[in-house]
Structure 1
Amino acid sequence: MISKSKVLSCSLFLFCILSKLDLVESRTTRNETDIQALLAFKARIPVDPDGVLTSWNDSQHFCSWQGVTCGRRHQRVTALNLSSLKLAGELSPHIANLTFLRVIDLRNNNFRGLIPQEVTRLHRLEELALTNNSIGGSKVFYYLQTTSLGNISSLLQLSMMQNYLEGNIPSELWQLSDLIFLQLSSNNFSGTVPRQLYNISSIYHFSLADNQLQGQIPPHIGFTLPNLKFIYLGMNKFSGPIPTSLINASGLVQLDMGSNALSGPIPKKLGSLQNLQTLNFATNFLESSNDLNFLTSLTNCTHLISLGLSQNNLTGVLPDSIGNFSANLFQLRIGVNYISGTIPKEIGNLVGLQWLGLYENMLTGSIPDSIGKLSKLKYFYAFTNRIIGDIPHSLGNMTQLIVLHLFDNLLEGGIPTSLGNCNYLEGFDLSWNRLNGTISKEVIGLCSFSIELNFSSNSLTGTLPPEVGNCKNLDFLDVSSNKLHGEIPSSLENWQIPDYLGELPLFTNLNLSFNSFEGKVPTKGVFDNISAFSIVGNNELCGGIQPLRLPTCPTEIAKKGKKFPRRAILVTGIVLFVVLFLICIYAIKRRMSLSKEREGTASPLEKNHLKLSYAELLHATNEFSSANLIGKGRYGSVYKGILSFDDQTVAVKVLNLQQRGADRTFKAECEALRKLRHRNLVKVITSCSSIDFQGNDFKALVFELMPNGSLETWLHPTPSSTELHNPPSLNLIHRLNIAIDVASALDYLHSQFDKPVVHCDLKPSNILLDADLTAHISDFGLTRFLSETTEESVTGQSSSMGIRGTMGYIPPEYGMGKEISTRSDVYSYGIVLMELFTGKRPTDSIFTGELSLREYVKTAIPDHVAEIVDTWLSFEDEAVFDQNGQSSRGIGNVRKCLGSVLSIGVSCSADSPSERLNIGDVLRELHKAINMLLGDQRRRALQDSVQQ
């Protein structure tokens, strides 16, 4: 008989066994859930080029599968890390069954489609990283908007950068109250940023860059996001001022708001951000009110390594305190502004600089010798300023230089031989200065390392050193438009064209044009490809390959190792020429004459420009068809064209050479466009002087196409222009921008070029608008370069020799035989300005007798402005328009602004030249007018919205 104690013991043992079996079964069930979820996830990934998911099988425990991490206690999946594995597919909704998931990291793959709604069931999720995939569509966040995000309020990091997300950023993201890392950059989000997003106080990384977002950055952002360390809002359409409250986010390390439409001043107390390393406000409309002292404040940021302020409206003189920046500063970009004065010698203190951009400003004076202390500098851009004096020899101390661009200045003297020390120099451009002296063998020796050397458009003398033949890496050499002489070094035959450039038939690698080279042109190496070099404008050359059509070189008769004397060669050449002349028929003589003429007239724009033939332009414009005709003037017609070799859309101006003065106009326009460079002048691509298929002369200019046509078509729309611009109207902000653009271009012509330049034919049809409605002055056929001291035409031409310009825009002094002056352009500008805001031409039928456009405007100022403005302008619409749909300015401000602008037009168009405003003063008055309208907002701040 079994005792009760033994029965009890057996029962307890059996109970324990059964309990453990139940526990095992329970664990197996839970593990099976994760296994099935992972396999379902794998099933949606058809592309796995490296086979990383092949380990997901029964041969090993699922916690050992690649990319899978499990918790130690429960053996449940806690992390899924499959980043950078080239996977492609869709996100499976079964991922929600991995209920213990804390991390989903699928970065740098090719997942596409939407985010499954089931993700919101992962209430333990802390990190969701899908950066650099193909997640896209306007409904990608649909389920996150319609399903409570409170279920995943534990989320700390959300990274969706570099996908195809679009639409609005959902305001429901504010429910992620513990979020510290938000990265939505490089997508296509639009609209405004939900205000609630700026209230997640825990965020330290806030990145919305490279989208289509607009609106203003909240002024309180520094208070509501006090933990910010990294904020990236660049490459959007944000407008308004930079919030001064940012100084309260004292932990800021990187601050990037570049490439927006921000306006107003740069806060002066940013220097209190002691941890700041990167500051980028480039490509906005920020201003400094002639005061750059905010730079002094930034010198307190002792950890600053990168400062970007280029492409703004900054004015003033660089302070000496710039030398107090941290020695760790390696990047300083302040190009494309209106900064004046000299380069402070204290800049030599920035010994850590590797990138220095001062280009396209109004800098004067010389380059300080102290700049040679920047021994780590690799990129130095100071082009398009008014810098004078010699190039410092100390630049040779910058032995790590990779790019040195000083072109388009007023530099004098020679090219320092010390620059031969810069053995890493790849891009070296000193063109368009006043340099003289010779090109030394030390300088030309740079071609052994460089890719580009450009010394064109100076006054360099002497011969081209034979060391030029040692160019091993050089792709481009331009010494055109100098005073070089002697023979072209035969060593240049050793210079071979890289294959990838040899395939481009219109690329000129070697430009020796417009010097005084003489003798035989080599025929090997670069010289065996007619499209790879240019030697036009050297009248003493001979030989070369057949397409050059140069005269045959005199036969060399060697005697005791010596050639004939130069006089004997010259006499022999003359005799040969006479004999050949007598036996040639008239047609050949005529053809040679046309060829010489073609070389001469094509010359002005051959600096760095493509060479296009008549046949290529004929093909590009569909044989100059009427369907491609986009404009017609006195001296020619303009056609839209597409260049076959790069699909670039261009505007081709074909001169009507039957019209008297057309050839002179062509030469004048080429000369002007060859010298002038400004962002508000139309960009020329090349010129073409050739012969058509009937043997007639053909001349054309090729420009960058302005897709929005001329200002004329917007102010006075026709049925055809209405089809292009629907509706054909410009609002107040657009018109103010255009007025400032044109004034900026004239200011450059009148006072920022080395000699004053007068356009002579300013009118709406010569003002072209690009895709952003930025204005560009075109048509320089009547342009005149004046004496710098007397401001008289260098040709001595009086206006009495022919009225220059278009009726209605011609200043009255021309009719009295007065000399051409910059005040003439100011008169035309005043007329254009009044036409821009009234919508009435100066030749309108209502202007008869004593009533002119000027008197019409003058009598309406200031009380009756509303009665004369263009009917397309609505005071009410302008008054209430704002990014946020709220009134930001009243009708009174609009009226005052218009009154001020029209007053400028009246002052500019005074009968007496001495009573007219200087164009520089016009610019300042226009800025005051726009500030009167917008207060702390500024140019183009609303432009993106008004195009909706």
Structure 2
Amino acid sequence: MLQYLDISSNNLDGKIPMEIFKIPAINIINVSFNNLHGQLPTSIGNAKQLINFASSSNKLSGDIPNSLGDCESLEYIELDSNIFIGSIPTSLGHITSLKVLNCSTNNLTGPIPITLGNLQYLEKIDLSFNNLKGEVPTKGIFRNATVVWIDGNKGLCGGALELHMPACSIMPSSSTRHKKYLVLEGVILTASMVSLAIVIFGLILWRGKHKRESISLPSFSTTFPKVPFNDLARATQGFSTSNLIGNGRYSSVYQGKLFEEENEVAVKVFNLETRGAQKSFFAECNALKNLRHHNLVPIRTACSSTYSNGIDFKALVYEFMPRGDLHKLLYSTRDSEGSSKLNLLTMTQRMSIMVDVADAMEYLHHNNQGTMVHCDLKPSNILLDDNMTAHVGDFGLARFKVGSTVLSLGNPNSSSVGLMGTIGYAAPEYASGGQVSTAADVYSFGVVLLEIFLGRRPTDDMFKDGLSIVKFTEISLRDRVIEIIDPQLIQELELCHDTPIGLNGKGVCSLLCMLNIGLCCTKTSPGIRINMQEVAAKLHGIRDAYIIEN
């Protein structure tokens, strides 16, 4: 009897037939990445043995049926990237076995059901990019901000502090408002007089000192605490070389502890003597002030100081990523004896890293605040936390697109392009003076994707005389894929050179699908590359299917 139905990644259209939910032993139904439309049949509630249901990236519409909550064995629900409307059924909170719920990128409205916080086995929940409103629940999974995604819902408020949501407003009565107004008027008057006195006193002190730093934070300073130079110097032991964890084109990064907190931070100090460094600082500030996504490196604060002798100091403070960057993870680890040794990265970890990066890039390119082009995506700009969750960082070359105009974030009044990216990762059109575009970011993403599965840098000595990592993958993918992928994956996927690839090894299909996505991203012509919305949706499907099968 049929237990597993997977018809994903085709060009199927029409409606989902209600009859498939009447199959008594059906465990898995995957209809993702098609052109299916219409409503999700209410008969889905009949599938009592259903463990996984995935309908991502279709054109399904209407309400999510309440009967979905009758599927008492469900562990994975993926309804993302459709056009569902209405509210999230509270009945989903009754599926006690549920582990993953993804309803992102739809047109859902109303509040987040409180009942979802009661699910003890829920590991991940993604409700991002809908029109949800109301207070975010605070029980259960909603206490762990690292596994909850609710970005792109302007009407949500409250919740755990780590979610960084706005506070929910409370409307007081008219009499209370009147009393508060009178008190507020008195407070403002008193505060104004005190502030004026402080300003005058401060000016007197400033004139009497030979050397003093003045903090001039970027426009997001109302959100983050101010930090003086002395605190940063103390946090990094005087910017000691023993605290140095990385160097870039315009900056050096130091590890340290700030505000006597337990959590460590990464202090990015800009070398202002290098041409373009100051512009890079302001570009990164302007890029980050309106960005908030769980796969972007979280910024804590900034420091912009000027001394009486005219010397400037500029730094950004980020949350510290304990696993370092992806480049070091792939190439720079050494064992206890000092011999060269690559990190053991599993297939699932590699796939999840690329899913995380795809989500971040999709947010930059397609979020409702505008289009951000990163312009320098590469492994050293992908940082990993303790959970191996990937975070995209370094926005020093980022550009903001408004229609056909590209604005430099280092100077919002400038539309100059300049040299973008890093050799090996930069899109080919940049070499001939091509305009900044999201398609160029897609190309860089594709190169990183190929690199992480092949275990080879795009600047490897073997890539010469017209042979690139893209061309190398293209000519080898069909018949010689075993020869080109990272040897670690050969062992993990149980492949051998003597057995036809189509007949041996689990997960080979997933690997080929991932590499194909990389090739779709790295087409020579920018116009035929897929966009990051498509990339993210497809990678989620491939990764999730691989996890279920293994």
TM over 0.5: yes
Cα distance in 1 for partners of 2:352, 2:219 equals: 32
Identity %: 31
C-alpha deviation, 1:914, in angstroms: 0.2
SS at match of 1:544: helix
Output the amino acid matched with 1:342: N
SS at match of 1:630: strand
Matched, 1:763 2:378: yes
SS at match of 1:340: coil
Candidates 243, 256, 261, aligned match of 1:628 = 243
Matched, 1:921 2:534: yes
Output the amino acid matched with 2:270: L
Whether the 8 Å CA contact 1:901–1:926 is kept in 2: the answer is: yes
Q: Which residue of 1 aligns with 2:434?
A: 818
Cα distance in 2 for partners of 1:404, 1:468 equals: 30
C-alpha deviation, 1:734, in angstroms: 1.2
Candidates 680, 685, 694, aligned match of 2:300 = 685
Whether the 8 Å CA contact 2:521–2:529 is kept in 1: the answer is: yes
Whether the 8 Å CA contact 1:878–1:894 is kept in 2: the answer is: yes
Q: Which residue of 1 aligns with 2:198?
A: 544
Output the amino acid matched with 2:234: H
Candidates 827, 837, 843, aligned match of 2:443 = 827
Output the amino acid matched with 1:633: G
For residues 384 and 932 of structure 1, do their structure 2 counterparts lie closer, same or farther at Cα, with a shift above 3 Å needed?
closer
C-alpha deviation, 1:835, in angstroms: 1.2
Q: Which residue of 2 aligns with 1:909?
A: 522
Cα distance in 2 for partners of 1:725, 1:812 equals: 32
Matched, 1:802 2:498: no
Q: Which residue of 2 aligns with 1:734?
A: 349
Unaligned runs of 5+ in 1: 1-218, 220-243, 248-266, 274-280, 396-400, 424-440, 449-465, 470-488, 495-519, 528-541, 553-583, 881-888, 943-948
Cα distance in 2 for partners of 1:684, 1:447 equals: 39
After superposition, the C-alpha distances for 1:836-869 in whole angstroms (9 at most, x for unaligned) are 1112222222222211121111111111111111
Q: Which residue of 2 aligns with 1:296?
A: 66
Matched, 1:657 2:272: yes
Whether the 8 Å CA contact 2:493–2:508 is kept in 1: the answer is: no
SS at match of 2:446: helix
Whether the 8 Å CA contact 1:866–1:895 is kept in 2: the answer is: no
Output the amino acid matched with 1:849: D
SS at match of 1:844: coil
SS at match of 2:440: helix
Q: Which residue of 2 aligns with 1:51?
A: none
Superposition map of 1:209-608 within 5 A = 269=45, 289=56, 296-298=66-68, 314-315=79-80, 316-318=82-84, 320=86, 337-344=102-109, 361-364=127-130, 385-387=151-153, 421=171, 445=177, 467=182, 469=184, 491-492=187-188, 521-523=192-194, 542-544=196-198, 549=202, 595=214, 598-599=215-216, 602-608=217-223
Candidates 483, 488, 513, aligned match of 1:867 = 483
Output the amino acid matched with 1:296: N
Matched, 1:778 2:432: no
Whether the 8 Å CA contact 2:253–2:268 is kept in 1: the answer is: yes
Whether the 8 Å CA contact 2:85–2:106 is kept in 1: the answer is: no
Whether the 8 Å CA contact 2:211–2:309 is kept in 1: the answer is: no
Cα distance in 1 for partners of 2:459, 2:137 equals: 56
SS at match of 1:923: helix
After superposition, the C-alpha distances for 1:654-690 in whole angstroms (9 at most, x for unaligned) are 1111111111111111111211111111111111112
Whether the 8 Å CA contact 2:377–2:441 is kept in 1: the answer is: yes
Whether the 8 Å CA contact 2:104–2:130 is kept in 1: the answer is: no
Q: Which residue of 1 aligns with 2:324?
A: 709
SS at match of 2:104: strand
Q: Which protein, 1 or 2, shows the higher relative CO under an 8 Å CA cutoff with sep ≥ 6?
A: 2
After superposition, the C-alpha distances for 1:624-658 in whole angstroms (9 at most, x for unaligned) are 11111110011111111022522321111111111
Superposition map of 1:147-162 within 5 A = none
Structure number with bigger Rg: 1
Whether the 8 Å CA contact 1:445–1:468 is kept in 2: the answer is: no
After superposition, the C-alpha distances for 1:598-636 in whole angstroms (9 at most, x for unaligned) are 42xx13332332222211111111111111111001111
Cα distance in 2 for partners of 1:387, 1:665 equals: 30
For residues 903 and 299 of structure 1, do their structure 2 counterparts lie closer, same or farther at Cα, with a shift above 3 Å needed?
closer
Cα distance in 2 for partners of 1:313, 1:693 equals: 59
Q: Which residue of 2 aligns with 1:900?
A: 513
Cα distance in 1 for partners of 2:137, 2:178 equals: 15
Candidates 684, 692, 697, aligned match of 2:312 = 697
Output the amino acid matched with 1:877: E
Q: Which residue of 1 aligns with 2:460?
A: 844
SS at match of 2:476: coil
Query: TM-score, normalising length from structure 2?
Result: 0.71
Cα distance in 2 for partners of 1:919, 1:493 equals: 52
Output the amino acid matched with 2:275: R
After superposition, the C-alpha distances for 1:364-404 in whole angstroms (9 at most, x for unaligned) are 4586xxx8xx9xx998999954457xx8xxx9xxxxx9879
Output the amino acid matched with 2:543: I
Q: Which residue of 1 aligns with 2:17?
A: none
Cα distance in 2 for partners of 1:404, 1:877 equals: 39
Cα distance in 2 for partners of 1:918, 1:798 equals: 23
Matched, 1:613 2:228: yes
Output the amino acid matched with 1:759: H
After superposition, the C-alpha distances for 1:224-266 in whole angstroms (9 at most, x for unaligned) are xxxxxxxxxxxxxxxxxxxx9999xxxxxxxxxxxxxxxxxxx
SS at match of 2:278: helix
SS at match of 1:680: coil
Unaligned runs of 5+ in 2: 4-23, 28-42, 143-147, 496-501
After superposition, the C-alpha distances for 1:424-456 in whole angstroms (9 at most, x for unaligned) are xxxxxxxxxxxxxxxxx99x94997xxxxxxxx
Q: Which residue of 2 aligns with 1:751?
A: 366
Cα distance in 1 for partners of 2:102, 2:66 equals: 18
SS at match of 1:786: strand
For residues 796 and 246 of structure 1, do their structure 2 counterparts lie closer, same or farther at Cα, with a shift above 3 Å needed?
same
Whether the 8 Å CA contact 1:668–1:781 is kept in 2: the answer is: yes
Q: Which residue of 2 aligns with 1:573?
A: none
For residues 637 and 445 of structure 1, do their structure 2 counterparts lie closer, same or farther at Cα, with a shift above 3 Å needed?
farther
SS at match of 2:239: coil
